[in-house]
Structure 1
Amino acid sequence: MRPDPGEVLHFSEDPTIARFVPHVARTARQPQPYVWAVDAARAPDYWFPRQCPRAMVWTVPGATMEDRERLIGPGGGERVHAIEYDWLERMRTTRLYAYRLPAAVFRPFGQPVPHAHVATVTVEPLGPAEPVGDLLELHRAAAIQLRVLDNLWPYWRAVTAAGLGFSGIRLRNAKPAPPDPRPAG
């Protein structure tokens, strides 16, 4: 599920939203009220139950072959999404919907590379919510490896220390981190 040209997407488990009103998200780091959406490149970041913690990594120019082999591996594709086993059943059963929104009222958000699009005005969807379908199949069809781990934190530590692109969403919902085996300091 990706936006068409001139669109951005908002993913939700609620198929009844008639309009999106700018608000300050509970987890926001900025005080401005926004309507949030994503473009085609970042849409896969949201092919999950809303509260599901996930660690994502992808290749970028200049990444070392060592980092790529260690964190993405031989499974094919240029991207890996990782979740915890505790979320696998919800990945299989969550009904997720996408709202198509007019891109013209949104602006890119995030530095140095935008990771979302925001609007400061109320936005009406271009049509009714569309079922996204099987979340595991979306990953397979997009050649995104989906890894299921007992605990995200060891992988997250490795991802953030490497020279690859990465993003973590809802990590506060992950299991507690085991002790870091690396020497302190």
Structure 2
Amino acid sequence: MRPAPGEVLHFSEDPTITRFVPHVARTARQSEAYVWAVDGGRAPDYWFPRQCPRAMAWTVPGTTAADRARILGPGGGERVHAIEYDWLDRLRTTELFAYRLPAAAFRPFGDPVPSAVVATEPVVPLGPPEPVGDLLKLHRDAGIQLRVLDNLWGFWDGVITSTLGFSGIRLRNAKPAREPGPEQPVRTAPSPVLRKPVRRRLTPPPA
């Protein structure tokens, strides 16, 4: 599910939206009210249930062969998405919808590389919402490796210190991270994406 030329997409589990009004999301780090959407390069970030924690990585021009082998693995393609086992059934059963919106109403959001597009005025969809369909099949057809893990944090720690592009969404919903060793106590991660002072690379993969 990708936008056509002149379009951007908003993914939702609600098929009844007729008008998108700018708002400040509960998890927002900025005070401005926006309507949020994504272009074709970032659409795969949202092929999930809304609250599903996911860690994603993809090759960029500066990706080293060693990091590609370490994160993507042999035959792993250009991109990998990781979720937890606890979310697999919901990935299989959630009914997701895509709203097509006029791209002209939006501007890029994010620095140095945009991770979304935003509008500051209400936006009316170009048509009724479209069922996205089987989310596993969507990944397969796009050639995206889908990795299912018991805990995301070991993978995420490897990704954010690599030369791949990456993005983490809803990581606050992931299981707590654990220190190495079966007898070690759970350590909490109240702000998981910012646990390490690294520069986030958010360059989208080629469409």
Q: TM-score range by the shorter chain?
A: over 0.9
Q: What CA RMSD, in Å, does the superposition of the two structures yield over aligned residues? A: 0.9
Alpha-carbon distance in structure 2 between the residues aligned to 1:75 and 1:135? 21
Q: TM-score, normalised by structure 2?
A: 0.86
Task: Specify the code of the residue in structure 2 equivalent to 1:78.
Answer: E
Does residue 171 (structure 1) correspond to residue 171 (structure 2)? The answer is: yes
In the TM superposition, residue 74 of structure 1 has moved relative to its aligned partner by: 1.5
Considering Cα pairs closer than 8 Å and 6+ residues apart, tell me whether 1 or 2 has the greater RCO: 1
What runs of 5+ residues in structure 1 fail to find an aligned partner? Answer: none
Q: TM-score, normalised by structure 1?
A: 0.96
In the TM superposition, residue 62 of structure 1 has moved relative to its aligned partner by: 1.6
What runs of 5+ residues in structure 2 fail to find an aligned partner? Answer: 182-207
SS at match of 2:3: coil
Alpha-carbon distance in structure 1 between the residues aligned to 2:68 and 2:180? 22
Superposed CA offset, 1:136-164 (max 9, x none): 00000000000000000000000001111
Does residue 70 (structure 1) correspond to residue 31 (structure 2)? The answer is: no
| Residue 30 (structure 2) aligns with | 30
In the TM superposition, residue 63 of structure 1 has moved relative to its aligned partner by: 1.0
Alpha-carbon distance in structure 2 between the residues aligned to 1:39 and 1:137? 20
In the TM superposition, residue 135 of structure 1 has moved relative to its aligned partner by: 0.2
Give the conservation status (yes or no) of the 8 Å contact 1:75–1:145. Answer: no
Superposed CA offset, 1:46-85 (max 9, x none): 0000000000000011211010001011133200000000
Identity %: 77
Does residue 49 (structure 1) correspond to residue 49 (structure 2)? The answer is: yes
SS at match of 1:151: coil
Give the conservation status (yes or no) of the 8 Å contact 1:13–1:95. Answer: yes
SS at match of 2:177: coil
Instruction: Name the count of aligned residue pairs.
Output: 181
